[in-house]
């Protein structure tokens, strides 16, 4: 019988790993976005949500989710780097003239957009989770003594430099998602003439929707929709 590692390291199973972990990350993005959009409902909702997240199941829930995300991200990054190197080696010499017909800038730059997302995630955690970047906005409490998530977000995005950083990060993420979602379905073997033409449009559309959703927050704050 073939060992686990032989099968695990085949290109196709590595792509299954990419697709399954990638979809976990997309589901997280959707959940994260729906939470973040509470900022439009005001400080009460936002800060209560922050407390709820940290205290659900005596604080266990957030750690279970975090653990899952860390595992998914590590597997996604490791397989992504492994595949990217393999793919580059398989095409060590390229033709002088290459005409792309179906691939896109998004599909050809997955490894670069992916690695940029890692950089962004570290910054983002340092900013809003650990409070080590822009700490001046982090250490605020509201009238109930709760961590004032709302104030932290709104004050941060009043800084044009911070807003611009987030906008760029979201565009990069959007490029990744533009290819990622419908690609994952193909990897999982979901391809049928009845619905695949639709799904090939729905994937990029969902990616775009996620990015617009996230962008609405810094831009909404900068343009004064949220005070």
Contacts with ligand HEM, residue ranges (CB under 6 A) = 15, 18-19, 22-23, 25-26, 29, 76-77, 80-81, 83-84, 110-111, 114-115, 117-118, 173, 176, 180-181, 183-184, 187
Footprint (CB under 8 A) of another protein, residues 74-93: 83, 86-87, 89-93
Q: Cα–Cα distance between 153 and 159 in angstroms, integer?
A: 10
Residue 222 near which of another protein, ligand HEM, none (CB within 5-8 Å, type-dependent): none
Q: What is the 3-class SS of the chain, one letter each residue?
A: CCCHHHHHCCHHHHHHHHHHHHHHHHHHHHHHHHHHHHHHHCHHHHHHHHHHHHHHHHHHHHHHHHHHHHHHHHHHHHHHHHHHHHHHHHCCCCCCCCCCCCCCHHHHCHHHHHHHHHHHHHHHHHHHHCCCCCHHHCCCECCCCCECHHHHHHHHCCCHHHHHHHHHHHHHHHHHHHHHHHHHHHHCCCCCCCCHHHHHHHHHHHHHHHHHHHHHHHHHHHCCCCC
> Is 12 or 161 the residue whose CB approaches another protein more closely?
12
> Is 88 or 139 the residue whose CB approaches ligand HEM more closely?
88
Q: From the list 5, 96, 145, 224, which residue makes contact with another protein (rule: CB under 8 A)?
A: 96
CA distances from 68 to 8, 14, 64 (A): 20, 18, 6
Is 179 a binding residue for another protein by CB under 8 A? The answer is yes
Q: How far is the CB of 40 from ligand HEM (least distance, A)?
A: 22
> Is 85 or 139 the residue whose CB approaches another protein more closely?
85
Q: How far is the CB of 12 from another protein (least distance, A)?
A: 4
Residue 23 near which of ligand HEM, another protein, none (CB within 5-8 Å, type-dependent): ligand HEM
Place of tokens 């927050």: 217
Is 183 a binding residue for another protein by CB under 8 A? The answer is yes
Q: From the list 3, 58, 161, 193, which residue makes contact with another protein (rule: CB under 8 A)?
A: 193
Is 3 a binding residue for another protein by CB under 8 A? The answer is no
> Is 98 or 161 the residue whose CB approaches another protein more closely?
98
Q: Cα–Cα distance between 105 and 38 in angstroms, integer?
A: 34
Residues in touch with another protein (CB under 8 A):
1-2, 6-7, 10-16, 83, 86-87, 89-103, 107-108, 110, 179, 182-183, 186-193, 196
């Amino acid at each position: 019988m073939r060992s686990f590692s032989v099968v695990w390291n085949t290109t196709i199973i590595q792509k299954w790993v990419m697709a399954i972990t990638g979809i976990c990350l997309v589901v997280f993005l959707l959940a994260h976005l729906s939470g973040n959009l509470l900022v439009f409902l005001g400080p009460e909702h936002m800060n209560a949500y922050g407390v709820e997240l940290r205290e659900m199941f005596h604080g266990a829930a957030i750690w279970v989710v975090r653990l899952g995300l860390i595992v998914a991200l590590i597997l996604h990054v490791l397989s992504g780097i492994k595949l990217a190197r393999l793919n580059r080696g398989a095409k060590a010499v390229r033709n002088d003239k290459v005409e792309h017909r179906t691939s896109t800038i998004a599909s050809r730059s997955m490894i670069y957009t992916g690695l940029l997302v890692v950089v962004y995630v570290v910054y983002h955690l340092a900013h809003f989770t650990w409070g080590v970047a822009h700490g001046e906005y982090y250490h605020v409490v509201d009238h109930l003594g709760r961590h004032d998530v709302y104030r932290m977000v709104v004050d941060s995005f009043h800084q044009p430099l911070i807003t611009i950083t987030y906008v760029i990060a979201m565009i990069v993420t959007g490029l990744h998602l533009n290819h990622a979602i419908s690609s994952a379905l193909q990897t999982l073997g979901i391809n049928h003439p009845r619905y695949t033409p639709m799904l090939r449009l729905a994937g990029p559309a969902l990616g775009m929707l996620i990015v617009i959703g996230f962008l609405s927050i810094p831009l909404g704050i900068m343009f004064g929709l949220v005070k």
